[in-house]
Structure 1
Amino acid sequence: MLRRSLVALPLAAALPSALAQFRVEISGVGATQLPIAVVKFRDEEKAPQPVGAIVRADLERSGVFRNLDTSGVVLDEGSQPAMSDWRGRSADALVGGSVTRLADGRFDVRYRLWDVVKGRDLGGQSYAVPAGDLRLAAHRIADAIYEKLTGEKGVFSTRIAYVTKGGGRFTLWVTDADGEGGQSALASPEPIISPAWSPDGRELAYVSFESRKAVVYVQEVASGKRRTLASFRGSNSAPAWSPDGRQLALTLSRDGGSQLFVMGRDGEGVKRLTSSGAIDTEATWAPDGKSIYFVSDRGGSPQIYRVPAGGGNAERVSFSGSYNISPAISPDGRTMAYISRDGGAFRVQVMDLASGTARAVSDTKDDESPSFAPNGRLIIYATRDGGRDVLMTTTTDGKIKARLVSTQADVREPVWGPYGR
């Protein structure tokens, strides 16, 4: 038996608007972190969102930066800071900005980035946005700073999806990458499971039991419009999109047993992928689309296997430990995150696929559903910590963690969306 249920129960079609509130607690110290000073944006206290504070939190959560104290400093994008003073504060980079309300009700958000070590102005940008997009503007500023200083794309303006249970209701949320600023996509008095983003970020696949059996649906994120993808005899579960968005892999029991199938995004062209007497489930595609990783108990206990996307012989991938589930593959295809049972604990492990070397990157005991950020630098997962259900992000080396503590009772099954929104 696999640890997670593969069926869901009836799901309401309502789309109530609400916000999921989190408190973010960051812990750990990376081997090398760039000291950065992000000064409070001028007049940000007059705006509905603390733009500078959001930028600071994003950069710190990445694990790449160490925020310096800027209390009492007055600085904006038009300033000419004394670089020698900031070098004296041990800053490598400096950020200043402002938030100004415009006559039409929008907000003009501006920032500027300086390289303190080289004494260079690295430029900036301005955004004119409605109040509802202030958080997004802050995340995009953090993305721009991250990319300018690291050469890699940031993921702060991407989204995540996850499921909560509170007050007897289950809700599928779509939020910013920090768990804030979102709305409920679905709400039901019954469970919702297995959300999966399409590669373009426009749709979510998920499982429901509205017809008294497990059925896979695909829903447009923006409009809420949805369609039935798989409603065959028996159970339909665990959808996973192909990298090009043209196909989905899923687990069907229509022919007896639970086996992997592949079908077109319109539900046509159904093809069986595995044929075993075991439970084959939790499919996830390799980024090149050539193979599919999945979980099977064909060897007597749940382990992770890989099969060609066109069908063929499956090969075992996980060998350390007697219980390994929930594979997630990094965007570059080199690393696999998964859940491994270590004694009585379930922890996130990260494996180098070339060497097979694996290591635990969490220090909690009830982890589930790891998912890579689209730049491959962070992993989000659900767990219990301090007696509460929380979402966690960790750097892939496990050194920097952010705990997203929800005001809602139960937070589960996070999945990180792609670039774009």
Structure 2
Amino acid sequence: MKLVYWLTASALLCLSAMAPAQVRVIKTMSEVATLDVAQFVGKSEGAPAVFRQTLVEDLRRSGWFNLVGGTRAEFALLGAAELSGANLEVLCEAYNVAERAKLLDKTYKAAEREARALAHQVADDIVLKLKGREGMAAKRILLIGNRTGKKEVYLCDADGHNLRQLTRDNTISLAPKWSPDGKEFVYTSFRSRFPDVYLVNLASGNRKCLADYPGLNIGAAFAPDGRAVALVLSKDGNPDLYVKDLRRGRLTRLTSTARAAEASPAWSPDGQQIAFVSDRSGTPQLYVMDRAGGDPRRLTSQGSQNVDPDWGANGYIAYCSYIGSYQIFVMNPATLEFKQVTREDANYEDPSWAPDGRHVVCTRTVGYRSQIFIIDTLSGSLIPLLAESERGDWMAPAWSQQ
């Protein structure tokens, strides 16, 4: 593979020129770092150009870097993307400039048509090596859209590209959630005229009904080990919280609250607890309980409604609170400390954590139009997921962890 303007020796010379004379204190991983991308080259057209543009966009979207060129930076990215027959070959090196330390040295190969997917993979590798964080670029997002006139489940990349329809139930579909391995998802559909829970294999499209009990069957969410789902059923009266063992089919009832309804279960990262919504206090609030049952502990008290919890791998719960409008908050369930991460310029609902523990994807509604946005919980910045030209309303996103 011919690499234009790039050799390891010249790269080291560039790093020597860029490095300050004195030793610098390395910033903490939570801070934005400067990253020089000017020395990563690619042709101005075709797959190499698509790769480089996508890579730069992914790194900028990550929030961890301030991208610069030709100036002294904390990190430097060097390499090239070129076509070799029908394949795209990418050589990528990343350096800590001050320490003159190589942090990433890898050659990537993919089919020419996979330029965007390869860029997502490389971006996540760079984030991991330079910041020690999981990336979000190579993961995918499930969402509900109504552009056909019916609410169906769709799938897209984390940058909104490759949008495709997954279900054709020609009815109402609700609340898609990923399996831990990213190979399946569960959702609620009215395809039988009643709200039932289905499991769908992404590769084959095959589906299996997990819950079609009399009454409501909603809110299914996989346990982190993939062996069970938590869900809400009303087969015994009020909507209560249950756990279903997927291997044995055994159903365990966790709540039996008189004159109250439960909703929206979300598992803790270790699978030992479940956060959920209950109106047992008179208004919808967040609670947490052990997966084996027991007395729930109330988590929220501010706001007239607190709903839609999602428990991230970072240990924090993202949720929606009504404070005159619906806003996204992030809570530490151990200390009950919380902070608002959205501006009160719209209604924000349905938060779902990215695997990087920094971003959440959510539904943003202004007037009668709902769209999907990505929120940086550290900086507060908003990024639209889909192009404005995508017709219809979009809601209920779920970010894959694998």
Bin of the TM-score, shorter chain as denominator length: 0.7 to 0.9
Query: AA paired with 1:297?
Result: D
Q: Residue in 2 aligned with 1:326?
A: 308
Alignment partner of 1:316 out of 291, 298, 316? 298
- Tell me the distance in 1 between the aligned counterparts of 2:92 and 2:151: 39
SS at match of 2:330: strand
- Tell me the distance in 2 between the aligned counterparts of 1:385 and 1:59: 29
- Displacement of 1:102 in angstroms is 2.5
- Tell me the distance in 2 between the aligned counterparts of 1:273 and 1:121: 51
Q: Residue in 2 aligned with 1:93?
A: 75
Name which structure has the greater RCO, CA cutoff 8 Å, separation 6+: 1
Structure 1 ranges of 4+ moved more than 6 A: none
Q: How does 1:233-272 map to 2 (within 5 A)?
A: 233-266=214-247, 268-272=249-253
- Displacement of 1:114 in angstroms is 3.0
SS at match of 1:125: strand
Query: AA paired with 2:218?
Result: S
- Tell me the distance in 1 between the aligned counterparts of 2:165 and 2:48: 21
Q: How does 1:50-65 map to 2 (within 5 A)?
A: 50-65=50-65
Query: AA paired with 2:35?
Result: I
Which stretch has the larger CA shift, 123-132 or 56-65? 123-132
- Tell me the distance in 2 between the aligned counterparts of 1:395 and 1:172: 25
Where does the alignment leave 5 or more consecutive residues of structure 1 unmatched? Answer: 1-29, 71-85
1:390 counterpart = 2:401: no
- Displacement of 1:156 in angstroms is 1.5
- Tell me the distance in 2 between the aligned counterparts of 1:376 and 1:222: 27
Q: Residue in 1 aligned with 2:21?
A: none
- Displacement of 1:225 in angstroms is 1.0
Alignment partner of 1:410 out of 393, 399, 402? 393
Query: AA paired with 2:339?
Result: R
Q: How does 1:332-351 map to 2 (within 5 A)?
A: 332-333=314-315, 335-343=316-324, 345-351=325-331
SS at match of 2:99: coil
| Paired residues of 1:35 and 1:65 also in contact (CA < 8 A) | yes
- Displacement of 1:316 in angstroms is 1.0
Q: Residue in 1 aligned with 2:111?
A: 130
- Tell me the distance in 1 between the aligned counterparts of 2:365 and 2:379: 17
Where does the alignment leave 5 or more consecutive residues of structure 2 unmatched? Answer: 1-28
Q: How does 1:88-127 map to 2 (within 5 A)?
A: 89-103=71-85, 105-127=86-108
- Tell me the distance in 2 between the aligned counterparts of 1:301 and 1:307: 18
- Displacement of 1:113 in angstroms is 1.9
Query: AA paired with 1:136?
Result: A
Q: Residue in 1 aligned with 2:354?
A: 373
TM-score by length of 2: 0.86
Q: Residue in 1 aligned with 2:46?
A: 46
TM-score by length of 1: 0.82
- Tell me the distance in 1 between the aligned counterparts of 2:295 and 2:128: 41
- Tell me the distance in 2 between the aligned counterparts of 1:178 and 1:233: 39
Aligned in 2, Cα 1:57/1:233: closer, same or farther, shift over 3 Å?
A: same
| Paired residues of 1:170 and 1:187 also in contact (CA < 8 A) | no
- Displacement of 1:125 in angstroms is 1.9
Q: CA RMSD in A?
A: 2.1
Aligned in 2, Cα 1:326/1:44: closer, same or farther, shift over 3 Å?
A: same
Alignment partner of 1:229 out of 210, 214, 223? 210
Q: Deviations over 1:180-227 (max 9, x none)?
A: 134322134322111011111111000111111111000011111111
Q: Deviations over 1:242-280 (max 9, x none)?
A: 111111011111111211111112571011110012110
| Paired residues of 1:41 and 1:51 also in contact (CA < 8 A) | no
- Tell me the distance in 1 between the aligned counterparts of 2:154 and 2:112: 21
Q: Residue in 1 aligned with 2:189?
A: 208
Aligned pairs, number: 369
Query: AA paired with 1:214?
Result: P
SS at match of 1:186: coil
Q: Residue in 1 aligned with 2:32?
A: 33
- Displacement of 1:155 in angstroms is 2.2
- Tell me the distance in 1 between the aligned counterparts of 2:118 and 2:152: 26
- Tell me the distance in 2 between the aligned counterparts of 1:219 and 1:154: 26
Aligned-pair identity in percent equals 32
- Tell me the distance in 1 between the aligned counterparts of 2:313 and 2:234: 30
Q: Residue in 2 aligned with 1:7?
A: none
